[in-house]
Amino acid sequence: VSRDDQGKIVVTLAAIEAKTAIRLPSWMLKQTSRYRVRFSLIGFNFRKEYYEYLEFRDVEISKYEKVEAQQIVFTAEPPKDQILLLSMTLMAYSGNSMNEGGVLLNSREFSPCALIAAFAAEEAGELPGEPIDQLTGIPEQRRANIVLVGYEGNRLIRELGGKVRGKANEAI
């Protein structure tokens, strides 16, 4: 995983021969007919207390197929104050004539996923004044992909800031 000259995230994926490269638990071997490798790019902004699903890319692989090496380029343009995480998930599907998409076989016992890259924010962003409880200032088309979260670090920064300002006033 790398970033190109324009700042886009690029995943260089080696060739994959599903039958030999993907190891499944024995109870899944006969049921599985195809795989999906999903790369998910997520942006975190702890100061504004949200994370955002920016983009995902899938590579579909049949059980007996060999997928050639390829590069996957993410086109999302995240705000410069987001920390970026890239994850990779392997999903196994059974064939099913009733459901063209197949049945997802992943379970608690088999659900391989990993964080494969992280990128620091390009800019620090502003410190929050008060906890953010709405998506003010976020364009409407992005709001469906955003999840608000609390971040205890912001409360501590606000408290520490108040104490530092109080001490400065006492010295005067």
pTM: 0.81
**In sequence order, what are the beta bridge partners of 93?**
34, 104
Given this model, what pLDDT does residue 139 score? 79
What whole-number percentage of the chain has pLDDT above 90?
52
For 140-163, write each residue's pLDDT tens digit. Answer: 888 888 888 877 887 787 778 766
Between vectors from CA 93 to CA 90 and to CA 94, what angle results, nearest 5°? 155
Least confidently predicted of 29-38, 45-54, 84-93: 45-54
**In sequence order, what are the beta bridge partners of 84?**
43, 119
Average pLDDT, the chain: 85
Assess whether pLDDT exceeds 80 at residue 56.
yes
For residue 83, with 0-12 CB atoms within 10 Å meaning exposed, 13-18 middle and 19 or more buried, which class applies? middle
Q: Which residue has the tokens 């996923």?
A: 113
Given this model, what pLDDT does residue 50 score? 86
Given this model, what pLDDT does residue 129 score? 62
For 71-106, write each residue's pLDDT tens digit. Answer: 999 999 998 999 999 999 999 999 765 556 688 999
Question: Contact 122/77 with Cβ under 8 angstroms?
Answer: no
Given this model, what pLDDT does residue 143 score? 81
Question: Contact 40/56 with Cβ under 8 angstroms?
Answer: yes
Given this model, what pLDDT does residue 8 score? 93
Assess whether pLDDT exceeds 90 at residue 67.
yes
- The separation between the first and the last C-alpha atoms of the chain, rounded to the nearest angstrom, is 53
Cα dihedral sign, 20-24-25-28: negative
Residues 6+ apart with CB under 8 A from 94: 31, 32, 33, 102, 103, 105
In the chain, the amino acid numbered 103 is V
